[in-house]
Structure 1
């Protein structure tokens, strides 16, 4: 395989991952596989390099969602702060500790998430409940843990985020995806700095992957804001992503 063919596979795979990340999550399962198995990066360098495309994708999708009135940062700032603080802590751990042991239990977490998504599906298709006020002593530790996970490993972060925001905070799935992109982009910029400081980023390969992820995220965000049935599509994509991830983790 020529270098050009390798990079073409990387960009196409990243484009698909960008779309999946925007509507559901776990697109990093694709990009991390490409970075390690196709491009040959060590796992810790792949983890850092992957964050470049995640940031550019999130920046593009956040702009589209904001432009179309689906991203309200002021309304949800109380959710953003604990996630951001947790992500910083997780990022600091990620540059010093391997996450391979955590991956061993990841597949069982995916099973739990699939059950959570399939039970009472109408909860995933409702509008944001503006009257709901979660207890601070519940959502702050929960969102801190969510951010810690995202800063540490990232893979599957989008799925966790949607489950917590849709089921726990009673947000619409499209608005949850919009907030997800903004929050992940915000803390990823800082995490990139942490990985770069430790020399754990391949900037050339990171930017190549970022091209595909950004295009995929941008186009998918436009679809999500223009198509009336986007919430149903996002829900079904989430189910497909979870089933595919579980199949890969248990069978291959």
Structure 2
């Protein structure tokens, strides 16, 4: 990919991408795992190679988490950041080898990797780990154990390799392993995703695997979708349930397509 901004598509394709981006923003707000939608969009609708789609996907994730991180800090979350560095730093460190592995993988193997990871994420979605999460009164300072640090390093490796589903793994680990409260976990998750994507973006940019045109367009559309998602959640009964079911269907279709591309490549 030599041109980082060229978007040579038909008018109807732009319309579909904008609508898909808005829909992804809604999904991110209500159910999370929006990257499970954007990756197939970049590959099958925008025509990007799987490796470039993986890098391009980080633009929206970086901008969205950055806005969330800023809002969290403005609301008094700076103290949470200072107390969470023991988790943030290993996650960011893990993102470096994860990104390097992804950046050096050829397109066919990336199709296979994304397909397999989508199958795994399908299992996670079906189990729905969020229902296990309960508010905890424990403080993280009592739980600074080496195995927890290792978990967050491995999550960082995963996040560097592929963005999809990292929020679910972070929330589960923060609440169940590190014993953060649900509210604090949300803030720490934003911090980790934001900082983790800094070295990741640098690495993918160095390997010429980011299409900023599609990445920025998707980021703007996702932001609009996030606003609509909040309104949707307050006006539509059982919105989360319907979004969750639709996300499962989309992941099944996308995983099948990625694995087909690998098998036929």
TM range (shorter): 0.7 to 0.9
- Say how many residue pairs are matched: 241
Give 1:208's aligned residue: 217
The question of 1:37 aligning with 2:49 is answered no
Give 1:87's aligned residue: 95
Give 1:27's aligned residue: 34
The question of 1:141 aligning with 2:155 is answered no
- TM-score by length of structure 1 reads 0.79
Give 1:18's aligned residue: 25
Decide whether the 8 Å contact of 1:14 with 1:209 is kept in 2.
Answer: yes
Deviations along 1:206-244, one digit per CA (max 9) or x if unpaired, are 1111111234446768999xx9xxxxx998699657744
Question: Structure 2 matches for 1:93-112, cutoff 5 A?
Answer: 93-97=101-105, 98-106=109-117, 107-108=119-120, 110-112=122-124
Decide whether the 8 Å contact of 1:83 with 1:147 is kept in 2.
Answer: yes
Match of 1:68, SS?
helix
Q: How far apart in 2 are the matches of 1:216 and 1:144?
A: 31
Q: How far apart in 2 are the matches of 1:223 and 1:129?
A: 33
Question: Structure 2 matches for 1:228-247, cutoff 5 A?
Answer: 240=245, 243-244=248-249, 247=252
TM-superposed deviation, 1:169: 1.8
Cα 1:198–1:67 shift into 2, 3 Å = same
Cα 1:138–1:197 shift into 2, 3 Å = same
TM-superposed deviation, 1:113: 6.1
Cα 1:209–1:150 shift into 2, 3 Å = same
TM-superposed deviation, 1:86: 0.3
Consecutive unaligned residues of structure 2, counting only runs of 5 or more, are 1-8, 258-265
Deviations along 1:23-66, one digit per CA (max 9) or x if unpaired, are 55321111111111111111011111111111111111212233
Match of 1:73, SS?
helix
Match of 1:56 among 57, 63, 71: 63
Give 1:46's aligned residue: 53
Deviations along 1:100-141, one digit per CA (max 9) or x if unpaired, are 3434543245425643627xx4x5241452266224221111
Consecutive unaligned residues of structure 1, counting only runs of 5 or more, are 228-232
- TM-score by length of structure 2 reads 0.76
The question of 1:73 aligning with 2:81 is answered yes
Return 12-21 or 156-165, whichever deviates more: 12-21
Decide whether the 8 Å contact of 1:17 with 1:216 is kept in 2.
Answer: yes
Cα 1:131–1:163 shift into 2, 3 Å = closer
Decide whether the 8 Å contact of 1:174 with 1:234 is kept in 2.
Answer: no
Q: How far apart in 2 are the matches of 1:234 and 1:188?
A: 30
Please say which structure displays the higher CA radius of gyration: 2
